[in-house]
Amino acid sequence: MSKKCNHFLNFLFLQTCDFYISSSLLLYKFKLSLLTL
């Protein structure tokens, strides 16, 4: 049970990290495009 729960938490954590990384990358590209205008 605890192992499954731990695995699930790890999965959630990775998903959130992925989300934050992709959103920050999008934000960075957005700022870059604003700078080049």
Residue 1's pLDDT is 54
For the chain, domain boundaries? 1-36
pLDDT tens for each residue of the chain, 37 residues long: 578 878 888 888 889 988 999 999 999 999 999 988 7
CA dihedral 5, 11, 14, 15 (to 10 degrees): -120
> Which is it for the CA torsion 22, 25, 26, 27, positive or negative?
positive
**How far is it, in rounded angstroms, from Cα 29 to Cα 37?**
12
Residue 5's pLDDT is 79
